[in-house]
Amino acid sequence: MKKNIYDVFEAHFPENTDATFIETDDGSQYSYAFLAEESARLARFLTDAGITKGDRVAVQVDKSAEVIFLYLACLRAGFVYLPLNTAYTESELSYFLENAQPSAVICRPPSEAFFHTRKNTQLIQVFTLACDGHSGSLVENSRSSEAEFETVASDADDLAVILYTSGTTGRPKGAMITHGNLAANGLALQAAWQWQQQDVLLHALPIFHIHGLFVACHNVLLGGSKMLFVNKFDTKTMLQLLPKSTVMMGVPTFYTRLLDDKDFNQDVCRNIRLFISGSAPLLEQTFNDFKTRSGHTILERYGMTETGMNTSNPVTGERLAGTVGLPLPGVSTRIVDENNQPLAGGVGALQVKGANVFKGYWNMPEKTAEEFTDDGYFMTGDLAELTPQGYIRIVGRNKDMIITGGYNVYPKEIELLLDEVKGIKESAVIGLPHKDFGEAVTAVVVVEPGQTIATDDAIIAELKQQLASYKAPKKIIVVPELERNAMGKVQKNRLREQYFKLYNS
């Protein structure tokens, strides 16, 4: 690929560029023609402000259509787009600035003063963008710039985006994602999910993460289709917009929240052709309940910041609950033992290879080398196994695996059984330090509203009928809810910190 990813998008725009690209919840419509014009204007403005190809542009702003035009402008100009979670604090931001050394920052107006104090020889420009997407110095100052810009030629290997990974261990690492990575993965998904111009995507995800930015927006751009842009998930708004949509992408929490609303039914989903879930495991229970209520079989897919999407359940063909489907075209996957040898069966470490896999961690060559095998596979850190049909089932994160009395325990196996226990709504199984066992299997559970659960001993006895004793939890902790991050992932590291001394106080 000798092309800037923007050129690839442009080649897929609808013939009639007056067609809507984004419709926001205040009813504003932005056409493909406007996208081309506004991204050109912003690319021209930022280039004239002294930002050059390869420079990082850090962006910490609220979701609005303008952010997507800014993202596209950065791609067109060859800048490296660096989206930052709006929840990051000043101390976290200081780390990102230090590590990524951006040349420009686009931030919310209240953060402007902070970023100005961080200006240095590298960071030369700070602009603001308000949550409405219409005000702030970026929009105001760029208004007088010509909407003319020739998209910069980029190689497949040129950086397009740096995305910091959640960093549950150690400091966050900046994943370097290239124009070639984005094109390979975008085109593979567009074909796999049969994206078309008539499609209307209901987009309620954050746009500082691969799910909302790449998976969602790139499919729309490559389909030449439209998206309904909602700033954040709100069940009532979703219920209003679902009948106007053909595809919804969400984290599993979106699906459980829809199910919690009595007004969610088949009629609301009458125009939907695809419900897609990812970023965190979708419970089989949710998959089944959703099918019963809506008549739709959720399509679950699996990916990560470093790789984009790796596997997907099929659009035509069987979608299996609790699995993430088959490798996407162009992606090789394998499940290996601790010596990187492919396993004939059972649980092992999942590794992937393909044009979708990132270039490495920004300024961390050693860390990058550690995560790749000699034959070029990326170690995802996820544990997986194959179902009899050859579908991949994610069993958990490597670091979440519990070693108790020398035995390996995969939390997912116990969580699935706990979720079936009467009165338990959901669960997270963690390992906590224990002087005899090394780690003790511990369950943290949420009880269904208005229900009670049996005693710990009774639940543990029930589990032991189906599990080897060493896998059964030693204790069960009841919490009002499981803390999740913006992408719906249960924050197991927080639980481990909180209950660190449970057995060894």
Task: Name the residues that contact ligand AMP, by CB under 6 A.
Answer: 165-166, 210, 278-281, 300, 302, 304-305, 324, 380, 382, 394, 397, 487
Instruction: State both tokens at 149.
Output: 């810009």
Count of Cβ atoms closer than 10 Å to residue 269 Cβ: 20
Tallying the residues shown for the chain, one arrives at 505
Q: How far apart are the C-alpha atoms of 391 and 175, rounded to whole Å?
A: 27
Provide, rounded to whole angstroms, the least separation between the CB of residue 385 and ligand AMP.
13
Residue 192: name the closest of 313, 341, 371 by CA: 313
Least CB distance to ligand AMP at residue 301 (A)? 6
**CB of residue 209 to ligand AMP, shortest distance in Å:** 6
Distance, CA of 352 to CA of 322 (rounded, Å) = 20
Supply the minimum distance, in Å, between the C-beta of residue 12 and ligand AMP.
25
Residues 6+ apart with CB under 8 A from 406: 438
Nearest-approach distance from CB 317 to ligand AMP, in angstroms: 17
Tell the smallest beta-carbon distance from residue 455 to ligand AMP (Å).
31
Q: How far is the CB of 344 from ligand AMP (least distance, A)?
A: 23
Q: Provide the 8-state DSSP code for 261.
A: S
Per the structure block, which two tokens stand in for 386?
């194959």
Strand (E) or helix (H) holding 302: strand 299-304
Q: Which is closer to ligand AMP, CB of 304 or CB of 326?
A: 304
Rounded to an integer, what distance in angstroms lies between the CA atom of residue 127 and that of residue 106? 5
Work out how close the CB of 75 gets to ligand AMP at its nearest, in angstroms, rounded to a whole number. Answer: 20
HSE at residue 502, side-chain half, CA atoms within 13 A, is 22
**Spatial distance between the Cα atoms of 181 and 308, rounded to a whole number of angstroms:** 8
Name the 3-class secondary structure at 499: coil
User: Which residue number, 205 or 453, has a Cβ lying nearer to ligand AMP?
Assistant: 205
Nearer to ligand AMP, 230 or 304 (CB): 304
Nearest distance in Å: CB 234, ligand AMP: 23
Other C-beta atoms within 10 Å of 100: how many? 21
Complex with ligand AMP: residue 224 or 278, whichever CB lies closer: 278
**128/380 with CB nearer ligand AMP:** 380
Q: HEC profile for 113-177? A: HHHHHCCCCCCCEEEECCCCCCCCHHHHHHCCCCCCCCCCCCCCCCEEEEEECCCCCCCCCEEEE
Name which of 412 and 474 has its Cβ closer to ligand AMP: 412
| Long-range contacts of the stretch 113-118 (C-beta < 8 A, 24+) | 114/90, 118/94
For the CB of residue 412, give the shortest distance to ligand AMP in the complex, in Å: 9
The nearer residue to ligand AMP, 20 or 166, going by C-beta atoms, is 166
Angle between the 252-260 and 284-294 helix axes, to the nearest 10 degrees? Answer: 50
Question: How far apart are the C-alpha atoms of 451 and 447, rounded to whole Å?
Answer: 7
- Cα gap 306→350, rounded to integer Å: 14
Q: Which residue has the tokens 């609808």?
A: 14
- Residue 133 or 303 with smaller CB distance to ligand AMP: 303
CB nearer to ligand AMP: pick between 281 and 411: 281
Nearer to ligand AMP, 397 or 475 (CB): 397
